[in-house]
Amino acid sequence: MLNRAVNYVKAHRLPFFIVFAVLVLAFPIIIPSNFVRGIAVRTVLYMLFASSLNLINGYCGHFSIGHAGFMCIGCYTAGLLATKAGLGFWLIVPISGIVTSLFGLLVFLPTNRLSGMYLSIVTLGFAEIVRIIVLNWTSLTNGPLGVKGIPSIKLFGLKLTSTTEYYYVILFLLVLSLFCMYRILHSRVGRAWMSIRENPDAACSLGVELAKYKAINFVVGAFFCGVAGCFMAFYYRYIDTTMFTIDESFNVLSMVIVGGMGTLVGPILGAFVINLITETFRFASEYRMLLYGILIILTMWIRPQGIAGASNSVLATKRMAKRVQSAAKAKRSEA
């Protein structure tokens, strides 16, 4: 049933896209509740976080589980530049992305030859190291008290204060980032990433410089995470280290897995589903990770490629096997 629905949507992309675009643009106008609009802002924000992780895990075959470290760097870069240097949001956005991308390169350099579980452990350690340094560097980050008093976003000299205005800002950043990702993925760089993901040895034999393109992958993924982190700092106007724990890394990772790695749409759907579950079961917040685990297990069983991924699951394989067997019996009966 799910496969049929996905195939139907793929066959009618244009009308579905138009309806979806209208609903997304009109959402904060249609919905009167400020609480629901706030949830929508956070959901779109996590769509950008998940999309940045998808570039690393989904398109180049890495398995990073330390994305909270990049989120922390992006947020604190924005918060400190806004409160200490007095810079505006639109100037800080690219700076946060660049600073975070430099740390992405810093993570890649010592892990060039690592992959799989070993790379995962290193990225997890990196995220914790970043969080602990930020927590204890009180002269710069204010330690456990966090960064307070981050100013509002200004657009043409006007302060943005309502949730609706912030919704359109993060929506603009998401659309712009997805467009840039699309162009990168359909360039020589994107094709090199996917060839490395499928078979590094074959890619190397065809002249793809593995170290170079893996480094670019980490840098680009970290850049978009830094951009999202910048908005996060300006939206909440207060940040501290409790927002960047290991749970946050697994939260973003679950969005990518559930939505479908290696697709641009997958992290969008995954972020929507995970945030919907989070808000629906907020009364059982201590069991949130348990719910994520159950959802990931079900996804791996029913649709291992995620909601937006290719049809390749245990149940789909069984149905296909039954169809092949029935077709073979029909041929034998005709003979």
Cα(213)–Cα(231) distance, integer angstroms: 28
Using pLDDT thresholds of 50, 70 and 90, give the confidence band for residue 184. Answer: very high
Residues 6+ apart with CB under 8 A from 28: 37, 40, 163, 164, 167, 168
User: Residue ranges of the domains in the chain?
Assistant: 1-30, 33-246
Phi, psi of 189 (to 5 degrees): -65, -45
Q: Is the pLDDT score of 290 beyond 80?
A: no
Predicted confidence (pLDDT) per residue in 80-136, tens digit: 999 988 888 999 999 999 999 999 999 888 888 777 788 889 999 999 999 999 999
Using pLDDT thresholds of 50, 70 and 90, give the confidence band for residue 314. Answer: very low
* Mean pLDDT, rounded, of the chain: 85
Mean pLDDT value of segment 34-39: 90
Least-confidence region, from 16-30, 98-112, 139-153, 277-291: 277-291
In this prediction, residue 267 carries a pLDDT of 92
Question: Which residue has 């993901």 as its token pair?
Answer: 197
Q: CA-CA distances (angstroms) from residue 335 to 324, 328, 330, 331?
A: 17, 11, 9, 6
pTM for this predicted structure: 0.85
Predicted confidence (pLDDT) per residue in 57-67, tens digit: 989 888 888 89
In this prediction, residue 46 carries a pLDDT of 94
Predicted confidence (pLDDT) per residue in 191-232, tens digit: 999 998 888 888 888 888 888 999 999 999 999 999 999 999
Counting other chains too, the contacts that 244-248 makes at CB distance below 8 Å and 24 or more residues apart are 244/68, 244/69, 244/71, 244/72, 244/75, 244/127, 244/130, 244/131, 244/134, 245/68, 245/131, 246/68, 246/124, 246/127, 246/128, 247/289, 248/67, 248/68, 248/71
CB 255 within 8 A of CB 50: yes
Least-confidence region, from 20-29, 112-121, 280-289: 280-289
Count CB-CB contacts under 10 A for residue 104.
27
